[in-house]
């Protein structure tokens, strides 16, 4: 085995172990769980921002007298999806994480109990507390910019800490909950009921001691932080904000794109692995954008403006293979890929050309999305295109995805510009590759 093969094998094993870890698998499940709720929230947000999406003379007045009358109701539905995102995301993570331990360590864990204990633990941390006059007290303030009643900070989006800003805290609390639950069960710290007792009753009692341990640990941790004049949200906000700020820079965004494609080149689903880390960031940034912030890295900028046609930004390649390729092999692959490419799916190209382990196509596969990503970042960060306030479904076709994400026709045009720029990078490489395969096909035909 040469050095190149040894490196490939080490990378594959290393990333394979990482992507197969219990924590990462649970995070991935959490990411999938958010999709349906973010789409529901997006639909009702679109109903609220229609005048911005269609700045047609007279439309704003028409809207105000029709759909605009129900804006508060639309906001209430949005709050019930994006406004409780921390509970949805971290709750699913906890459920999945508990289930993985249950199945792989053969422990008597109940995923539903894990979820319920997480909700209890999470709401122990949500209220803002202070140490005052020798007692723990709820923070109370009626300041317009910071309304807190009974410790709960609220806004038009609902209870603020259970929204997207609480995802990172929710993950930490969920991880702690599962580990405490797992520890107590492994050491038989639970009440066991006779077999004749109904399962529902038995499960509730089996969670009693683990639940008490979770409550004791989380409440104790919370108290220590209150003594230190802070809380878990404020402590965890520091690293979360640091990472979020890096991801929101042009170079941070390009690093994310590079890592996705570097992993894909080894046959590892880079988008799934890397997105498990940045999903909490883009969700929090998107919620902030709705409230007036101006983050680029929000919602799903990758599938709206970068990975058009799939990883590698290969939509233009798929079209070229069908219409201009002279190699029979590439033309047939193009026919198989053209329809999936419209919906940002390109496994036929990644494994059919192939792109995986193909040195000849490594450069365009990595640099084409870097170019489209750079253009997308520039256009939105300079306000040439409206900021992203909606997370469109990742298979949304080109143009429609950009329009939905930004609620602007400029977003649709930007998507086509990004796709065209990516194909400019691809063109000399795919054309050369086509000539190479055509020559091989002609030589094989001549021998026969």
Question: For residue 354, is the peptide bond before it cis, meaning its omega torsion is within 30 degrees of 0?
Answer: yes
Which sequence spans correspond to the domains of the chain?
3-242, 248-447
Give me the residue label for tokens 């795919």: 430
Picking from 430, 426, 385, the residue whose alpha carbon sits closest to that of residue 407 is: 385
Note the pLDDT of residue 1: 55
Q: Any long-range contacts for 72-79 (C-beta under 8 Å, 24+ apart)? A: 74/44, 74/45, 74/47, 74/48, 75/44, 75/48, 75/156, 75/157, 77/40, 77/41, 77/44, 78/41, 78/44, 78/45, 78/48, 78/157, 79/156, 79/157, 79/158
- List, in order, residues 6 or more apart from 133 with CB less than 8 Å away: none
Q: How distant, in Å, are the alpha carbons of 172, 193, 357 from that of 169?
A: 5, 34, 39
Q: Which residue has the tokens 């047939």?
A: 332
Closest to 125 measured CA to CA, from 31, 236, 209, 29: 236
pLDDT at position 55, please? 76
- DSSP string of 184-197? HHHTT-SPPPPTTS
Pair of tokens at residue 78: 């949005």
Q: What is the pLDDT along the chain (448 residues), one digit of tens a residue?
A: 566 667 667 766 776 677 778 988 898 888 878 878 888 888 888 888 888 777 788 888 898 899 999 999 999 998 898 889 899 999 999 999 999 999 999 998 999 999 999 999 999 999 999 999 899 999 998 877 778 988 999 888 788 899 888 888 999 999 999 999 999 999 888 777 666 666 666 666 778 899 999 999 999 999 999 999 999 999 988 888 888 889 899 999 999 999 999 988 877 778 877 887 788 889 889 988 988 899 999 999 999 999 999 999 999 999 999 999 999 999 999 998 999 999 998 888 888 888 988 889 999 999 999 999 999 999 999 999 999 998 888 889 999 999 999 999 999 999 999 999 999 999 999 999 999 999 998 888 887 6
**Amino acid 245: pLDDT:** 87
Contact 44, 74 (CB under 8 A): yes
Beta carbons of 192 and 206 less than 8 angstroms apart: yes
Beta strand ranges found along 73-190 (DSSP E): 129-132, 135-138, 141-143, 146-149, 152-155, 158-159
Nearest in space to 298 (alpha carbons), one of 287, 280, 277, 282: 282
Q: Is 441 exposed, middle or buried (0-12, 13-18, 19+ CB in 10 A)?
A: middle
Burial of 406 (0-12, 13-18, 19+ CB in 10 A): buried
pLDDT of residue 11: 66
- Return the CA Rg of the chain: 25
- Compute the distance between CA of residue 269 and CA of residue 264 in angstroms, rounded to an integer: 5
pLDDT for the residue 199: 61
């Amino acid at each position: 085995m040469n050095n190149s093969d040894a490196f490939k094998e080490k990378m594959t094993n290393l990333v394979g172990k990482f992507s197969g870890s219990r924590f990462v698998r649970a995070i991935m499940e959490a990411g999938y769980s958010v999709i349906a709720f973010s789409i529901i929230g997006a639909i009702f947000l679109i109903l609220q921002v229609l005048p911005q999406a269609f700045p047609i003379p007279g439309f704003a007045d028409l809207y105000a007298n029709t759909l605009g009358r129900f804006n508060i109701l639309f906001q209430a539905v949005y709050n019930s999806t994006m406004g409780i995102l921390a509970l949805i995301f971290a709750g699913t993570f906890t459920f999945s994480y508990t289930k993985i331990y249950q199945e792989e360590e053969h422990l008597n864990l109940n995923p539903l109990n894990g979820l319920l204990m997480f909700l209890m633990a999470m709401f122990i941390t949500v209220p803002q507390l202070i140490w005052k006059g020798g007692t723990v007290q709820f923070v109370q303030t009626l300041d317009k910019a910071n309304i807190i009643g009974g410790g709960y900070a609220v806004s038009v989006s609902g209870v603020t800490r259970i929204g997207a800003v609480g995802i990172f805290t929710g993950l930490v609390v969920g991880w702690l909950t599962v580990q405490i639950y797992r520890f107590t069960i492994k050491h038989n710290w639970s009440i066991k009921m006779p077999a004749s007792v109904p399962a529902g009753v038995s499960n509730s009692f089996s969670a009693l001691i683990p639940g008490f341990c979770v409550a004791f640990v989380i409440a104790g941790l919370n108290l220590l932080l209150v003594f230190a004049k802070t809380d878990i949200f404020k402590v965890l906000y520091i690293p979360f904000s640091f990472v979020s700020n890096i991801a929101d820079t042009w170079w941070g965004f390009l690093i994310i794109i590079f890592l996705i494609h570097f992993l894909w080149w080894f046959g590892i689903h880079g988008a799934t692995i890397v997105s498990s880390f940045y999903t909490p960031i883009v969700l929090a940034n998107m919620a902030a954008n709705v409230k007036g912030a101006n983050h680029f890295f929000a919602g799903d900028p990758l599938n709206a403006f970068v990975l058009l046609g799939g990883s590698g930004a290969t939509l233009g390649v798929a079209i070229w293979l069908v219409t201009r390729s002279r190699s029979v092999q590439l033309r047939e692959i193009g026919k198989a890929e053209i329809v999936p490419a419209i919906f940002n799916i390109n496994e036929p190209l990644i494994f059919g050309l192939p792109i995986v382990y193909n040195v000849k196509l490594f450069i365009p596969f990595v640099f084409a999305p870097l170019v489209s990503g750079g253009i997308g970042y520039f256009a939105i960060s300079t306000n040439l295109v409206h900021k992203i306030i909606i997370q469109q479904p990742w298979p949304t076709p080109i143009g429609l995805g950009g329009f939905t994400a930004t609620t602007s026709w400029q977003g649709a045009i930007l998507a086509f510009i990004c796709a065209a720029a990516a194909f400019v990078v691809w063109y000399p490489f795919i054309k050369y590759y086509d000539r190479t395969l055509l020559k091989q096909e002609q030589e094989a035909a001549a021998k026969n």
